[in-house]
Amino acid sequence: MKMNTLTLAVVLGLGSTSVIANTDVAELEQRINELEARLVKTEQVTEEANDQASSFEFHGYARAGLLINDNLNGATGTGPYMTAAGAIGAPIGRLGVEDDNYVEANLIHNRYLDDGSSARFHIMLADSVETNNEWTAEESQLNVRQVYSELANLRAFSDSEALSNATFWAGKRFDRANYDIHFLDSDIVFLSGTGAGVYDAQLSDDWKANFSIYGRDFGNIDSSSTDIENYIATMNNWVGNWQFMLSGMTASDNKELTQGSADKGFHALLAYHADSFYGAGEGFAKSGVLFGDGLGAELKGIGSNGLLTEDAQAVRVFTYGVTRFAENWRAAPSFMAEYSQDRFEKNDEFAWASVNLRLAQEFTENFEMVYEGSYQYMDLDNATDKASGSFYKATIAPTLKLSTSKGFFDRPELRFAVSYVDWSEDLNDYAVSLDTDAATMGDGGEVLFALQMETWF
Amino acid sequence: MKMNTLTLAVVLGLGSTSVIANTDVAELEQRINELEARLVKTEQVTEEANDQASSFEFHGYARAGLLINDNLNGATGTGPYMTAAGAIGAPIGRLGVEDDNYVEANLIHNRYLDDGSSARFHIMLADSVETNNEWTAEESQLNVRQVYSELANLRAFSDSEALSNATFWAGKRFDRANYDIHFLDSDIVFLSGTGAGVYDAQLSDDWKANFSIYGRDFGNIDSSSTDIENYIATMNNWVGNWQFMLSGMTASDNKELTQGSADKGFHALLAYHADSFYGAGEGFAKSGVLFGDGLGAELKGIGSNGLLTEDAQAVRVFTYGVTRFAENWRAAPSFMAEYSQDRFEKNDEFAWASVNLRLAQEFTENFEMVYEGSYQYMDLDNATDKASGSFYKATIAPTLKLSTSKGFFDRPELRFAVSYVDWSEDLNDYAVSLDTDAATMGDGGEVLFALQMETWF
Amino acid sequence: MKMNTLTLAVVLGLGSTSVIANTDVAELEQRINELEARLVKTEQVTEEANDQASSFEFHGYARAGLLINDNLNGATGTGPYMTAAGAIGAPIGRLGVEDDNYVEANLIHNRYLDDGSSARFHIMLADSVETNNEWTAEESQLNVRQVYSELANLRAFSDSEALSNATFWAGKRFDRANYDIHFLDSDIVFLSGTGAGVYDAQLSDDWKANFSIYGRDFGNIDSSSTDIENYIATMNNWVGNWQFMLSGMTASDNKELTQGSADKGFHALLAYHADSFYGAGEGFAKSGVLFGDGLGAELKGIGSNGLLTEDAQAVRVFTYGVTRFAENWRAAPSFMAEYSQDRFEKNDEFAWASVNLRLAQEFTENFEMVYEGSYQYMDLDNATDKASGSFYKATIAPTLKLSTSKGFFDRPELRFAVSYVDWSEDLNDYAVSLDTDAATMGDGGEVLFALQMETWF
């Protein structure tokens, strides 16, 4: 009995414990119910917020700042295309010589369907002014540079090996596959205009290709003038690290607009995109050669120049890379050179080569010293006048940024820069253009001071 | 005893189980506590994200692409208002003839109060250029077309039957109640300008009305010129499916700006918004009649034309509908016709009628063939010259989109289009305007090729 | 045995209860597991949505509406700077006299690092047109007024007392520390231009300072004209409620651009920012004095005017405050006065004083009557002609807003306003400028009607 009583006591004790546990469990169940209800609501609101947030994207590029010459006045005529050869696309290192306040603002609308297909609408507003003042209505260049739509991963093509991951587009745009040598402010090719095309057609396991048709206009476009359009058909291929791009173009009646001008053209690019710094370290390197004929002889801005002659020919080579070569040092060498003949006139002949080295020395996570040396040789003969010689630039730029460890392409950067620029006397007052009011390099030997920001996102 | 031992064993067993359960419960309670804490935080972040996301909206409309004529050059002078009657607002079917790169970008800021009231700020940037090039600073038409604020569901009016759901606004805007025949690129009315008003005043159970005052300017507006303003007072009513809109307007001194011009006007619209395709199928249909007198005789752009005479009179009828008439076929017929007299000169007389049929044949969820046939008859007498005749257009357009099953108004669309346009010889070189440099239709019989995108969101 | 059976029964009963509880607990555990999994996902999505939402900000200011004169035409030449003294920066109360459709749209991109540092990119588009029409491409003033980047709370400076909370910036901007008397549409100082600087340097426990260099351009800036730049170095200090700002500036060669013009200048501001309405009630008050010499004699737009003479001197005082002086009444008095001499010509002499009182009488949460009385005395001698006299304005404005209880600075406001403006006859047709086509006040005695919205966010 004692035992039983004990048993009972234990049982009752346990029972009472169990009753408490049951109450606890019911309470917990109640709390879980509430949590579930709240989570359902939160998931819903989250999805809505996410949908709304992801339907819009804002991206941009901008540079702005002061550029002061050694007379304590605004520097004029400077920039990466400041040399006589700049008129035919020869860049020098950009650090510390850019004076424009330039901005690109991209507004993007995305639409996602549950089946995985999506649409993307993109507009880009851009502006470039030299004035330091803030009300720039008179100088404003504000304009819409891009307006296009894309359709991707369309369900109807899901069984097509070639098109299941393809992106279709139409409108006005910069080609998606353009890429540049940032340090020279020069695209390798800058294919752009109004048209349509398809990206990421999978032609075989290793072979991806883009196809596009772009139209461009020559001359001023208004209702009274002749409307000459240049149509460019492009095939851009990637096989492993190799890129091979072919473009043909035709511009009816362009011969009539300007005597001797070409009405068709051809353009080719062969490039290698290396995953390391020339096999010698971390980073990357890109190298290639471009060739153009007739309207295709404007090697960067494919099909953008209606003044090229039928016999125009140009060849360009480039290479650049980015690496880290010590704990706190980074380097980015670039090289670009071009030879062209019969470009604007029979027997004109232009040769130039640019070499540039940007170095960054990281002091802290937020501060680095950036150095740039730039050299350009040019030998220019516009069939009337000749000039040849060299351009030199050296720049040192203390720079603030969020994260120096993230390398050359982390932005924004706030920088102070001092540059010395000079060139051969032979180049003073020479211009490629035969226009009497064509801009020339003037005299060299100048120190430039810059206070600048540059960003992209 | 055995029993008791068993009992004890059972009890102890149960007890030990219960102890485990208790530990479990405590653990679960701990996890629930943590979940609750995390959920509170997540709810907070979600609310913030949602508030931030919903405070901003991006909406737009755009079309862009290439339009190529049969000489492989850019088409000029085309578009929905390309006929001689287009100068007085007569549209033809737009598919495949639009050459402009046009964009509207709307940036909207919402502010919601806990009491249910809200404010909405809206600006619209718009641009329209013909050039296919991407740097359009010289041709840019970029401008602010709308800038206005709205206040809705104000607490102070919550007891007012008429105003409890009303929206008040002021600024520059397109009237909220404007609607169009998309296929003709023609609004039924396009009331716009700078002013103030109220939407959704509930005058009785079945009767909703909008009231507004809009100002518009005639002539060039600068500090040296006379500043003629036209003030338009509008009442726009909905009773069931019926819409009845009345507008009166006055422009002091307009007679002095242009001799013989009206200084007041009257405009009326009666329309029926049907929920089915003329009672004959799914879809919708809208039909109506417009009448205008004096400054009100510009029937679409109410009060926008200061050159109308005192005696000007115009009447317009329209109807259009959208339906699906087979598993994979859709149709959208439109009709619009106008008669006007004493419009710009005593005894001028203009009559035109446009009929348009757009068909879509869905092949897959992402691909459809779109067809459009368009016809316009016009009989034009500007009191100096007369011309009459017909315009014809036929277009076929293979089209990509996200979801053909969503019908005519799902965007973006990427399309290739081929059109043939022609017209009566009598219309060649005729212009409604008496200006010597007025644009004319030129000669007909042209094939147009288009690569285009169109989107809205 | 009975007892034992009972015991057993109890035990079994309890056992069965316990078994249910265990099942419950397992179920609950399962539900908690699911909740945790869902919450993990929701937290992730929420964080992404929040990151995306917080990376973008849209802010703006806008006013738009109709301004009608008593001849039922558009009012011209009105605005806060409509008086003869307005040409030298003398404002009158703005309520009911602004005719422009003005908009500022700010697009901001934020980037946050986990270490607490952040970057902020800011562009401002702005436009100002007078026309009431909606397609304003011809009149458009759309331009980029600001484009700059900021870096804040940089990790590398976290050990620096002075810079740990500092913000560094470069680009084109309105200085962050500018502030205005809203009711007069006049900044106290409007420092702006292109440059670089640092905000919130903590010089001691009580002393915060900003340092900046701004460049501005004088004259038209294009490649052919002389490029005169004015460089302004500023130190802006806060000690408690006191603000002390010193600016020096230099513009090489400005003497050559305009004969007799200054090529350097000095500017100082001393202000007190009170946390109450002059110690007499809730609200705030700001008072101060400004002095300028040479190029610094343009007291508001520091360094923005290249036409000032070497001997130019100006002194300005201001005070304004905002308070609530009854349950439903608010008041905002403002005073600003300036004396300047040798400003544009030797021996010119300008004195003016503006006083303004805005009152708001709240009727409901959404409706208030706003009253404004404005007076300006001016005594103007441009060294050729003299004029002196007074300007008067009285305005009454029924106003709708979301929350009248939130005071003078809650927006949007939708308002109707009636104003009467008049001035001394002596001021008719007087202009500070000696240009023959300089705008003058014309004749006074006019009633103005306004329908307007104003917002900021």
What DSSP element (H or E) covers C54?
A: helix C2-55
pLDDT at B22: 66
pLDDT by residue (tens digit) across B272-327?
999 999 999 999 999 999 999 999 999 999 999 999 999 999 999 999 999 999 99
pLDDT at B436: 82
A141 touches chain C (CB under 8 A): no
Nearest Cβ partner for B137 among A123, A141, A169: A141
Q: What is the mean pLDDT of residues C245-271?
A: 92
Task: Write out chain C residues lying below 8 Å of B121, CB-based.
Answer: 60, 62, 412, 455, 457
Chain B residue with CA closest to C400: the answer is: B151
Is residue A36 very low, low, confident or very high in pLDDT (cuts 50, 70, 90)?
Answer: confident
> Residue B338 above 90 pLDDT?
yes
Task: Write out chain A residues lying below 8 Å of C213, CB-based.
Answer: 66, 451
> Residue A120 above 50 pLDDT?
yes
pLDDT at A439: 82
Share of chain A above pLDDT 70, in %: 93
- B76 CA: distance to closest CA in chain A (Å): 7
- A248 CA: distance to closest CA in chain C (Å): 37
pLDDT at C21: 56
Q: What is the mean pLDDT of residues A54-60?
A: 95
CATH fold for domain A56-456: Maltoporin; Chain A (2.40.170)
pLDDT by residue (tens digit) across A302-355?
999 999 999 999 999 999 999 999 999 999 999 999 999 999 999 999 999 999
Mean pLDDT of chain C: 92
> Residue C249 above 70 pLDDT?
yes
- A91 CA: distance to closest CA in chain B (Å): 20
Contact flag A196-B414 (C-beta cutoff 8 Å): yes
Share of chain B above pLDDT 70, in %: 93
> Residue A244 above 90 pLDDT?
yes
Q: What is the mean pLDDT of residues C161-171?
A: 97
Name residues 396-455 of chain A within 8 A of C (Cβ): 400-403, 412, 414-416, 439, 451-455
Phi, psi of A85 (to 5 degrees): -75, -15
> Residue A1 above 70 pLDDT?
no
Distance CA A108, CA A117 (A): 17
pLDDT by residue (tens digit) across C23-56?
678 888 888 888 888 888 888 888 888 888 889 9
Cα distances (angstroms) measured from residue C409 to each of A59, B111, B367, C401: 32, 15, 53, 11
Best probe of the A interface among B20, B134, B367, by most A CBs < 10 A, is B134
Task: Write out chain C residues lying below 8 Å of B151, CB-based.
Answer: 366, 400-402, 412, 414
pLDDT at B19: 47
- B125 CA: distance to closest CA in chain A (Å): 11
Is residue A8 very low, low, confident or very high in pLDDT (cuts 50, 70, 90)?
Answer: very low
pLDDT at C18: 47
Cα distances (angstroms) measured from residue C403 to each of A274, C363, C415: 61, 11, 14
Is residue C438 very low, low, confident or very high in pLDDT (cuts 50, 70, 90)?
Answer: confident
pLDDT at B4: 53
pLDDT by residue (tens digit) across C180-234?
999 999 999 999 999 999 999 999 999 999 999 999 999 754 444 557 899 999 9
B123 touches chain A (CB under 8 A): no
B137 touches chain C (CB under 8 A): no
> Residue C65 above 50 pLDDT?
yes
> Residue C440 above 70 pLDDT?
yes
Nearest Cβ partner for B32 among A32, A171, A304: A32
Determine which of A213-222, A385-394, B362-371, C257-266 has the lowest per-residue pLDDT on average: A213-222
Q: What is the mean pLDDT of residues B223-227?
A: 56
pLDDT at A225: 54
Does this model's pTM top 0.90?
yes
Q: What is the mean pLDDT of residues B358-377?
A: 98
Among all chains, which residue has been given the structure tokens 């002749």? A226
Regarding beta strands C349-362 and C284-294, do their DSSP bridges make them parallel or antiparallel, or are they unpaired?
unpaired
Is residue B6 very low, low, confident or very high in pLDDT (cuts 50, 70, 90)?
Answer: very low
How does C187-220 read in b/e, with b if 16+ C-beta sit within 10 Å? bbbbbbbbbbbbbbbbeeeeebbbebbbbbbbee
pLDDT at C70: 87
Is residue A226 very low, low, confident or very high in pLDDT (cuts 50, 70, 90)?
Answer: low
CATH fold for domain C58-456: Maltoporin; Chain A (2.40.170)
> Residue A413 above 80 pLDDT?
yes
Distance CA B282, CA B278 (A): 9
> Residue B230 above 50 pLDDT?
yes
What DSSP element (H or E) covers B93?
A: none
B58 touches chain A (CB under 8 A): yes
What is the full DSSP assignment across C380-434?
Answer: EE-SS-EEEEEEEEEEEEEEEES-GGG-TT---EEEEEEEEEEE-GGGTT--SS-
Distance CA C452, CA A310 (A): 61
> Residue A130 above 50 pLDDT?
yes
Strand, helix or coil for residue B74? strand
Is residue A10 very low, low, confident or very high in pLDDT (cuts 50, 70, 90)?
Answer: very low
Is residue B81 very low, low, confident or very high in pLDDT (cuts 50, 70, 90)?
Answer: very high
Task: Write out chain C residues lying below 8 Å of B155, CB-based.
Answer: 364-366
Closest CA to A448 of A132, A80, A96: A96
pLDDT at A16: 44
Chains with ≥3 CB–CB distances under 8 Å to B: A, C
pLDDT at C48: 86
> Residue A272 above 60 pLDDT?
yes
Chains with ≥3 CB–CB distances under 8 Å to C: A, B
* B15, B16, B21, B27 alpha-carbon torsion, rounded to 10°: 130
Name residues 173-212 of chain A within 8 A of C (Cβ): none
Mean pLDDT of chain A: 92
Is residue B47 very low, low, confident or very high in pLDDT (cuts 50, 70, 90)?
Answer: confident
> Residue C8 above 50 pLDDT?
no
Is residue A448 very low, low, confident or very high in pLDDT (cuts 50, 70, 90)?
Answer: very high
Is residue A165 very low, low, confident or very high in pLDDT (cuts 50, 70, 90)?
Answer: very high
How does C332-360 read in b/e, with b if 16+ C-beta sit within 10 Å? bbbbbbbebbbbbbeebbbbbbbbbbbbb
Share of chain A above pLDDT 90, in %: 79
Q: What is the mean pLDDT of residues C256-280?
A: 92
CATH number attached to the domain at B57-456:
2.40.170.10
